[in-house]
A and B are shown apart, each in its own frame.
Chain A
Amino acid sequence: MIIVSVGTQLPFDRLIRMVDDLAPSLHDKAFAQTGRGVYVPKNIEWKADVPAKEFDALLSGASVLVAHAGIGTVLKADQYGKPIILVPRKASLGEHRNDHQLATVSKLKGRPGIYVAEEQDELLRLLSDTDSLSRPSALDPPGRIRLQSHLEMIVNGAIGAAR
């Protein structure tokens, strides 16, 4: 199952429409969380909002997550060990206030389990063979461990000084 998610804050009909158009030619079935969009999918199952617990259950059985380039969504895919295909929102198409999602994907592209598709043909290529997509690393990234230890050091210092 391909899970599509666009978050709850802004519509992203271009993404829903891309997957809906591709669905008849794909082996995997797809489900979309469409949020505030107005486009009604014809070929895939969909729901505007999916409660957090239900979304987690869907994701744990998914082959891949296709989503806008939100950090929360990237972390979810990482948490469930699923490949994610990011489709960045573009300010020029009215999809976000600015192009920070383009900047985010340019930094994340190439990491294990993270793919980027800006156009439908790239999305088709990736979704045609979801078994071949790599998964995110199961290890905590070194930058996270470093930041966590830095925070522990600061907190230990602050609490020591407060007593």
Chain B
Amino acid sequence: MRPKTDIVAVASSGGHWQQLLLATQTLRLTRSVLYVTTKPELLAQAGIENGRTVLDCNRDTLGKMVKSIFQCLSIILVHRPAVVISTGAAPGIICLAAGRLIGAHTIWIDSFANVEKLSMSGKIARYVANTWLTQWEHLSTARGPTYAGELL
């Protein structure tokens, strides 16, 4: 059966979110995309009506992380997308991990801001992403991440 949602696209606020919108600009035209971010006003600003928000978290905010994990898990389990895509940061990793549980194809695009090395979440992404991308050619290696262009 065709999944209700083709793609769940996840990013926390700021540069991550703007990069996610650009990365999925063309996918949105032909696929059903459910956007997930950390601030409701970002969805409104981008004209997205059926998006979801989850708590932002990082390795220093354990309590928020637990709640964020439940929120991300429930979104992925309810919508059962074929693809999960994220540009960062922590909620993206959680959604990718949840995506692997349901057999979705998971895609990580490390932020353009990470010029000299991958971010902490970008390094963790190696273990949960089927497709692991950097936006800097000099950071790509034969064992990943892969470079396939940049958003800026």
Contact = CB atoms under 8 A, between A and B. Distances in A.
A95 B148 CA distance: 32
Contacts of B27: 148, 151-152, 155
Interface string B118-152: 00000000000001010110000000000011111
A91 interface: no
A17 interface: no
A110 interface: no
Nearest to A148: B26
A50 to B, nearest CB: 12
B22 interface: yes
B149 A159 contact: no
Contacts of B112: 71, 104
Interface in A114-160: 141-152, 154-155, 157-159
Given A70-B15, A100-B113, A162 B23 contact: no
A91 B85 CA distance: 31
Interface residues of A, number: 40
Contacts of A106: 115
Interface string A101-118: 001101110000000000
Q: Is the interface of B mostly helix, strand, loop or mixed?
A: loop
**B interface bracket (residues with beta carbon within 8 Å of A):** 35 or more
Contact of A53 (B19, B45, B135, B151): B45
User: Which of A9, A74, A78, A158: most chain B Cβ within 10 A?
Assistant: A158
Interface string B82-123: 110100000000000000000111010101111110000000
Nearest to B111: A71
B10 interface: no
Interface of B: 2-3, 6-7, 14-19, 22-27, 31, 41-42, 45, 82-83, 85, 103-105, 107, 109, 111-116, 131, 133, 135-136, 148-152
